[in-house]
Amino acid sequence: MKKTSRRPPPDPLPDRERRGRAFDALVQNGAVATRTKQRNLGRLSEIAQVAVRHGFGYFIEKHKLTDLLPFGQRGQVVPSAANQRGVHLREMLDELGPTFVKFGQVLSTRPDIVPPDIIAELRALQDDVRPFPFEQVEQVVETELGLSLERAFSSFDRTPIAAASIGQVHRATLPNGKRVAVKVQRPGAPRQIEADLALLYQAARIAKERIRALDFIDARALVDEFGRSIRSELDYRSEGRNADRFRRHWAGDPHVEIPHVYWSYTRARVLTLEFLEGTQVADVDTQSYTLEERRRLAYRMAETWMTMIFRHGFFHGDPHPANILVLPGDRIGLVDFGQVGKLSDDDISKLTRLFIEAASENVDNLPRRLADLGVTYPKEKEEEFRTRLRELYYKYYGATLAEIDPVQVIREAFQLIYAMNLQLPTRFVLLDKAIATLGSVGIELYEDFNVFEVAKPYARSLVRDRLTPRSLAREGRRELAKLAFVASEFPHQLHDVMEELRDGQIEVGFVHKGLDAFMVRLDAALNRLVIALVVVGGLIGSSLIGIFAEQGPQILGVNILSFIGFLLSGLLGVWLLLGVVRSGRL
């Protein structure tokens, strides 16, 4: 049988009508974009007003941002003192809403760009918001699971046990009788987050263009980092996979409990976990525990995180008191696996070398070990960095563990990082945040708690493990494979360079130092030269007009055009002379 091709049906819309509709759509999209921009400007104005209310009027005034305020309030900005700025910023972010609270939490992990006093306050931010109605919970669950709430669960509590910016948690029971915790995403959360991110990008642009004091910060990159972090939390399946990995790592451990993930009841906006019967550390009544019980609990938590860091290379990134449960039988349980940190074998090896150098009092080698970890600092400040690091080291070296306040040590380390403008890899910043938070929680339970006392045995045992013949042989094979790869790639790379050289594609770049000021002076000199030439040209031209023009109106016996030329040239000449005199380079 002969195949016949079917012609597409004729377009029912004439060309003119189709073009008209396309034009209408374009106009509508432009109008939507304009309205979005106007809304963002209105929201920026609202943020500026909140900032003034929380004592940041001095910042608005100093950086000439008063145009963001309503016209009637621009003259009412009263500059206030910059003290207690961390407290004021935390309260401001709390008022602005959940996305800004999370942004503050991200800022609290960046000691390379945020001063230590502000970090201390931002770490107290809690992602705690008003729950959304149960009717919306029911709608999200039924849409995601494709089942009615009554069919999916034999019971489902209407009141949430926890609520946050992205979702909230409800207690429920599966048809098989298992008690579970169901995490449901807030309706419209992705849309609200994208709107807030657009606003933060606009604020970042304003900061880059108008706030010179923030030139050392890449504000857009900071918002990018926050965007990646918060978007990753929108897919609950990712959190479920993290929980599964933790559960595999801790399988069989008698002291740590990780909830089971019920994947049949888990989707992108719904996460169903085994319900752990316990008490949040935040709700623990320390008076009902003996001193030894509190000590054991604090050190159990520290040992758990040290095992994650030094053994598993995969650690819980947010160990605040609401995410750690005290379970019966001297056990702890972990929940909320949205923020996790990952360390490679190479990272753990470098951390171990850093610890060995510190324990051996080889302070001069610490900058090199930090550089191995990816910590960067200006080369011209290397000696200053080594000196300040030595001062910090010997301030605490030799002191008993009970005398050392881990939080104070970390705070002073942050001051060093901020003062030296060190650049920290993100994975180690999250590690630092986890240890600092854990230290704070541990001290609240047991005042003599010291997280470094727990870290020491793990680092020592890790050193022993890595010095065994099997580990050394494995490390040797790995290094040999790297060298073999480099050797095999070298001829190809050399060939590529020679080809680029032959084709004239090799470019040589250079970095100049100290030329900026010279270029500014040269630019000013050239501008003055151009003005001088214009003055001379004006005088010569006016003189020629005065000599050869025999007709036309005159002023003081001089042709009017010639008179205007002399006047403008004279004014430019006086302006040029004043500029030279003011510069002090006459």
- The token duo for 234 is 């929108």
The answer to whether the beta carbons of residues 324 and 332 sit under 8 Å apart is: yes
Q: How far apart, in whole angstroms, are the C-alpha atoms of residue 494 and residue 499?
A: 9
Residue 80 forms beta bridges with which residues? none
Q: Of the candidates 438, 430, 439, 436, which has an alpha carbon nearest to the alpha carbon of residue 109?
A: 430
Other C-beta atoms closer than 10 Å to the C-beta of 351 total: 21
Phi, psi of 95 (to 5 degrees): -70, -35
- Counting Cα atoms < 13 Å in the Cβ hemisphere of 269 gives 18
- The token duo for 359 is 């324990």
Helix orientation angle between 291-307 and 451-466, rounded to the nearest 10 degrees: 40
Q: Do β-strands 167-173 and 256-257 pair in parallel, antiparallel, or remain unpaired?
A: unpaired
Q: Which of 112, 117, 196, 318 is catalytic?
A: 318
Torsion of CA 354, 355, 357, 360, to 10 degrees: 180
The answer to whether the beta carbons of residues 430 and 339 sit under 8 Å apart is: yes
CA dist 378 to 32, 233, 382, 385, 412, Å? 46, 35, 7, 9, 20
Q: Of the candidates 332, 276, 329, 316, which has an alpha carbon nearest to the alpha carbon of residue 445?
A: 332
| Segment holding 340, helix H or strand E | strand 340-342
CA 155 to chain centre: 40
Which amino acid makes up residue 230?
I
Residue 167 forms beta bridges with which residues? 185
CA dist 363 to 22, 369, 387, 458, 585, Å? 68, 10, 9, 21, 50
Is 318 assigned a catalytic role?
yes
Residue 440 forms beta bridges with which residues? none
DSSP codes joined into one string, 406-474: HHHHHHHHHHHHHHHT-B--HHHHHHHHHHHHHHHHHHHH-TT--HHHHHHHHHHHHHHHHTSHHHHHH
Q: What angle do CA 120, 121, 126 make, to 5 degrees?
A: 115
What's the full length of the chain, in residues? 586
- Give Cβ neighbours of residue 347 (< 8 Å, ≥ 6 apart): 313, 373, 427
Q: How far apart, in whole angstroms, are the C-alpha atoms of residue 368 and residue 583?
A: 46
Q: Annotated catalytic sites, by residue?
A: 318
